[in-house]
Structure 1
Amino acid sequence: MASMAARSSRKRRSPPPRGLGDLHDDVLERVLARLPPATFFRLRAVCRRWSAAAASPTFLRACARVPSRDPWFLMLSGARPRPPLAFDAAGRSWIPCRAAPGGSCGGADAAVPVASSGGLVLYRAPGTGELLVANPLTGASRALPSPPGAHGGAPRLHAIAMYGSPYRVALFAGELPDLSMSVFDSSRGSWEGPVALSRRPDAAALLPDDAPSQGGADDTVYFLSKSGDVVATNMQRSASKQYSSVVVAASSDGGDAVAYFLSHSGTVVACDTARRTFAELPRILPVYFEYSIDVVACDGAAYAVVLAEYLDTASLRVWGFAGGAWRQVAAMPPAMSHAFHGKKADINCVGHGGRLMVCVSSGEANGCFMCDVGSNQWEELPKCVNGDGEVNDFLAAFSFEPRLEISV
């Protein structure tokens, strides 16, 4: 009986289960840093200790030690302005996002996103051409100095690319065969250029000998100008996608790049920024075909996405450039793509990791689709219903990695 009483006493004296409140501050911050980014907005409302942790510099360092986060997609709506939204790929949910930065890019000449890289988004004021970099998760922003020739009758802008860490912003301007590029390096805080590009007849020479079959290349920037004649529809593209750009980089700092855009005749022009040369790639489809086209980067490779009509149906296919020719690497199931037959639909695409998002828009049909390029698995994203009970129609998206610790 005495031994049973002793055991009962020991049970009563056992310590209670430990919770988050018993963790040391640095351990708590490491735990909080691994929460889904959408929860960061609510940390300060939980308790005083969590609020203090969220404001701590060591918490940001803990966030930086998280190797990667699933992407968010900053969604761009149609003609009627709406509060900015992001699609959380991990939580498969729609999340309110920071509004476009104000300052000199705000007001009537409101800035629109034109490129993204890592956890940052690049905004441009359509009227003035002013550029501003922002972290859409924290709202921190930085206005870039005016690019060379910004106020002196600069040549027509073809495309804008953002890449690397520290990040770089590249502007490509001019008319074939007179093309030039200017590059902003955030580590120096200044622009270089404009630098003239010379024609190179052999397009394959711009790609390395060991280029992957998907068509990617080390430290490669690909982009399309959406004003090419190849887009034979009456659709007006989003101002954000007018200078659409994607980046494929093998090194952590981005390095030199090869840039691609559409000429007025519908051919893809490849610009090697290191050798300062350019060449024209062969067409994907004949010039008389009606189709919409965009370029994306997925898993270190660049692809062209084409929505075209064949006979009595519509087809959406993903192409890679390798061995001097375009090769199909993925295709939307016909049951999905057929819904856009005869709709004169326009596509705007964005990639992140192995994911490819396609925003299809027309006056009659709209939808956002996600594709795993490696497995060719497609799905339509859930509809986003606003506070008025209406379904939001999205024209385009920009992908970014939601990170609190990224500075501009």
Structure 2
Amino acid sequence: MITHVPCRYLPNVDDTSADNYCSFVMAAGKSRKERNQEKLRFSTDKPEVEVLDQDIWKEFPEDLFEAVIARLPIATFFCFRSVCRKWNSLLDSQTFAQRCAEIPQRNPWFYAFTHDNVNVGFMCYDPSIRKWHHPTFKCAKSIAHPVASAGGLVCSLDISHRKFYVCNPLTQSFKELPPRSVNAWSCIAVGMTRNRNSTTGVYRVMWVGGDGECEVYDSVKNSWNRPGSMPLNIKVSPSHNFRSQAVSVDSTLYFMRSDPEGIVSYNMDTGVCKQYIIPAPVHLSDHSLAEYRGKIMLIGLLTKNAATCVCIWELQKMTLLWKEVDRMPNEWCLEFYGKHIRMTCSGNKGLLMLHLRSRQMNQLVTYNVISREWLKVPVCVAPWGRKQQRVACCIAFNPCLTATA
């Protein structure tokens, strides 16, 4: 008999579509008495429903079980983990990790903190089903804000700017990075890359200071190294202060720079640093970088007089100029008229989340680069019917069951 165990990580997942994916899998976890009761009920109420025979399905190859489960939506997977200890231990299986690695990256999720309880109140938002999830464990020992992500991992920095943490928000994989050699207060920009093709999930974290100093953490060596300072004329504006997150294309990180406006790139493999002087659009404020299929995108507020609008640009590789490709619907922008709007943006794989706030509003909006669809994010209500929570900050990450810190 299969012993049932509780689901530890996302206990409030109630994705009703689970039965539509692999109903035969759940049948394997039921006793003969339960099956007979179901058969009796189905025979009277729903005669068209066929009960799966355990004598047949118990011979189903284990490798095919893993192949099927690896393809389930993330939320559904956590429901299936509660069936038995064997399936609950799949995260530690090398063969299951290999199955997951063969599957194309999933749609991004968003990792967010709330104003109500910034220490333990982090949440995960799944845009595909427009649902908030509330994990049951902390990703840091102290108050820490997410500053970078890569390959299913999120890097956070504590409020004292002294400690970095890396975790997988979907599992209990967590690590506090060793101390750095440079005063942490000078840290104003952070980027992260992860080698998804590596069996060990190698990742690197880079921080950049206002005076050009920088350090890179290597998860294999478990240490920081100083590849050398960036050229003195390459500065990351202190005014950004994590509001504009770095983006990565393969092993290259891209940071925003100012005075003059442009982009700084750093290749984590070769250590080569480059700068690009790119004039910013007129009347631009609160702008952030994003990436989609190797293309660099710019998201920002255009403010003129009392009117404000959110616009999307794409960097043209030939001219190194920003070309506007879309903007928020006019009826939405009318809500900003006469208000002092601030915006932060986080994006991954062509899906962006904009955090728009003022004294009168605190709104999250998603934007799909492919479909050019704008959607307002539903309000987040804590489990057990507690009050609505106000999001303080968020970052995009690719949900990955096997990424380890």
TM-score range (shorter-chain normalised) is: 0.7 to 0.9
Match of 1:208 in 2: none
CA deviations over 1:245-282 (Å, ceiling 9, x no partner): 232324xxx1x44x32344x683452555444545432
Matched to 2:220, the amino acid is S
Match of 2:387 among 380, 385, 390: 390
The residue correspondences of 1:229-378 to structure 2 (distance < 5 A) are 242=242, 244-250=244-250, 254=251, 256-257=252-253, 259-263=254-258, 267-272=261-266, 274-278=271-275, 280-286=277-283, 291-322=285-316, 323-378=319-374
1:402 aligns with 2:396: no
Following superposition, the deviation at residue 243 of structure 1 comes to: 5.9
Following superposition, the deviation at residue 172 of structure 1 comes to: 1.0
Q: Identity across aligned pairs (percent)?
A: 26
Matched to 1:83, the amino acid is G
8 Å CA contact 1:271–1:278 kept in 2: the answer is yes
Residues 359/128 of structure 1: CA separation in 2 closer, same or farther (3 Å cut): closer
TM-score by length of 1: 0.73
Match of 1:191 in 2: 224
The secondary structure found in structure 1 opposite 2:229 is strand
The gaps in structure 2 that reach 5 residues or longer are 1-50, 196-201
Match of 1:164 among 190, 194, 198: 194
The secondary structure found in structure 2 opposite 1:29 is helix
Match of 1:93 among 94, 107, 131: 131
Residues 305/155 of structure 1: CA separation in 2 closer, same or farther (3 Å cut): same
Matched to 2:249, the amino acid is A
State how far apart, in whole Å, the 2-side matches of 1:334 and 1:73 are: 26
Residues 99/347 of structure 1: CA separation in 2 closer, same or farther (3 Å cut): farther
Match of 2:96 in 1: 59
Match of 2:109 in 1: 72
Computed over aligned residues only, the root mean square deviation of the Cα atoms, in angstroms, reads 3.1
State how far apart, in whole Å, the 1-side matches of 2:296 and 2:131 are: 27
Corresponding residue pairs, total = 341
CA deviations over 1:304-339 (Å, ceiling 9, x no partner): 211233345321001233314222122111111221
Residues 50/278 of structure 1: CA separation in 2 closer, same or farther (3 Å cut): closer
TM-score by length of 2: 0.74
State how far apart, in whole Å, the 2-side matches of 1:48 and 1:283 are: 55
Following superposition, the deviation at residue 98 of structure 1 comes to: 5.2
State how far apart, in whole Å, the 2-side matches of 1:117 and 1:298 are: 14
Following superposition, the deviation at residue 382 of structure 1 comes to: 2.1
The secondary structure found in structure 2 opposite 1:46 is coil
State how far apart, in whole Å, the 1-side matches of 2:167 and 2:89 are: 24
State how far apart, in whole Å, the 1-side matches of 2:325 and 2:57 are: 47
The gaps in structure 1 that reach 5 residues or longer are 1-14, 202-222, 229-240
Match of 1:216 in 2: none
